[in-house]
């Protein structure tokens, strides 16, 4: 980890601890839930986590039926929260668990979307499952997406697409959107991230082809959200 990232992590940690200690919330939008909450000082992306919590409540209130999924799990940092906010639903976890696939990287480089050089290979299915609050609800699908999704005919209420690169994100939208329940949500990480220009391209292309809208949100990864 570079010195800058280490420094930023330290600031995040201290800010999170300080807010927690002084019981300061960044926004009051979750107060209506009347729940005590801890700000996770190791994962200081309040907007992403709070938005996930809010949409999980909407899905619960609408009593939607269906599963949840993440494409691009890595060590399970975000998947852990999906699992905790949807404890009764199966959580499909799609990842190579060995980092980017060279077929996707080759498209990235040809289109000048990104270098595709980041290494996400230091993880495993076992390590991810170990930190899940409800591992019995997790269905890990190790390998190249979309191949690993072949034959899955489930309905989904929430999907996180966090695969960074154009090809898997576009394939994820093509696979999940038709299976998304009305009232469900798809989060796409990195939509407004200059380091991964393919994420925006995949969302814009898909939404234009399907004539649907999306909402960009100001979380730390620059996510966009599609709802049905």
Ligand X SMILES: C[S@@+](CC[C@H](N)C(=O)[O-])C[C@H]1O[C@@H](n2cnc3c(N)ncnc32)[C@H](O)[C@@H]1O
Q: How far is the CB of 182 from ligand X (least distance, A)?
A: 26
- Region 61-120 residues binding ligand X, contact defined as CB under 6 A: 72-75, 77-78, 94-96, 99-101, 104, 120
Q: How many chain residues bind ligand X (CB under 6 A)? A: 21
Of 83 and 96, CB closest to ligand X = 96
The CB-of-122 to ligand X minimum distance in angstroms stands at 10
Task: Please give the backbone phi and psi of residue 79, each rounded to the nearest 5 degrees, phi first.
Answer: -60, -35
Q: How far apart are CA 69 and CA 93, in angstroms?
A: 6
Q: How far is the CB of 37 from ligand X (least distance, A)?
A: 19
CB closer to ligand X, 67 vs 164: 164
Give yes or no for a contact between 93 and 70, defined as CB atoms under 8 angstroms apart: yes
16 or 72, CB closer to ligand X? 72
Q: Find out whether 198 and 166 touch, Cβ atoms under 8 Å.
A: yes
Strand locations in the chain (E): 67-71, 91-95, 138-142, 156-161, 180-188, 215-216, 224-227
Distance CA 142, CA 131 (A): 17
**Minimum distance of ligand X from residue 39's CB (angstroms):** 17
Exactly one of 39, 69, 163, 202 binds ligand X (CB under 6 A); which one?
Answer: 163
Concatenate the DSSP letters of all residues of 180-221 into one string: EEEEEEEEETTTT-GGGHHHHHHHHHHHHHHT---EE--STT
Nearer to ligand X, 31 or 194 (CB): 194
Q: Does 219 bind ligand X (CB under 6 A)?
A: no
**Nearest approach, Cβ of 137 to ligand X (angstroms)?**
17
Pairing of strands 215-216, 224-227: antiparallel
Rg value, the chain, Cα: 17
Token digits for 122? 């230091």
168 binds ligand X (CB under 6 A): yes
**Per-residue interface string for the shown chain with ligand X, residues 124-153, x marking contact by CB under 6 A:** --------------------xx--------
What is the binding site for ligand X (CB under 6 A)? 72-75, 77-78, 94-96, 99-101, 104, 120, 144-145, 162-165, 168
């Amino acid at each position: 980890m570079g010195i800058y990232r280490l420094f930023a992590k330290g600031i995040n940690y201290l800010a999170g601890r300080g807010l927690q200690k002084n019981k300061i919330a960044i926004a009051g939008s979750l107060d209506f839930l009347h729940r005590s909450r801890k700000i996770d000082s190791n994962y200081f992306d309040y907007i992403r986590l709070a938005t996930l919590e809010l949409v999980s409540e909407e899905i619960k209130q609408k009593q939607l039926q269906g599963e949840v999924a993440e494409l691009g799990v890595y060590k399970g940092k975000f998947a852990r929260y999906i699992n905790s906010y949807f404890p009764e639903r199966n959580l499909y976890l799609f990842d190579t668990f060995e980092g980017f696939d060279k077929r996707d990287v080759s498209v990235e480089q040809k289109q000048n979307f990104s270098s595709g050089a980041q290494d996400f290979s230091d993880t495993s299915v076992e390590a991810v499952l170990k930190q899940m609050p409800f591992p019995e609800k997790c269905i890990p699908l190790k390998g190249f997406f979309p191949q690993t999704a072949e034959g899955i005919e489930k309905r989904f209420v929430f999907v996180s697409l966090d695969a960074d690169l154009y090809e898997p994100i576009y394939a994820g939208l093509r696979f999940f959107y038709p299976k998304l329940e009305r009232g469900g949500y798809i989060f796409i990480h990195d939509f407004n991230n200059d380091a991964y220009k393919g994420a925006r391209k995949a969302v814009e292309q898909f939404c234009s082809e399907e004539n649907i809208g999306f909402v960009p949100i100001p979380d730390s990864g620059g996510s966009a959200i599609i709802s049905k």
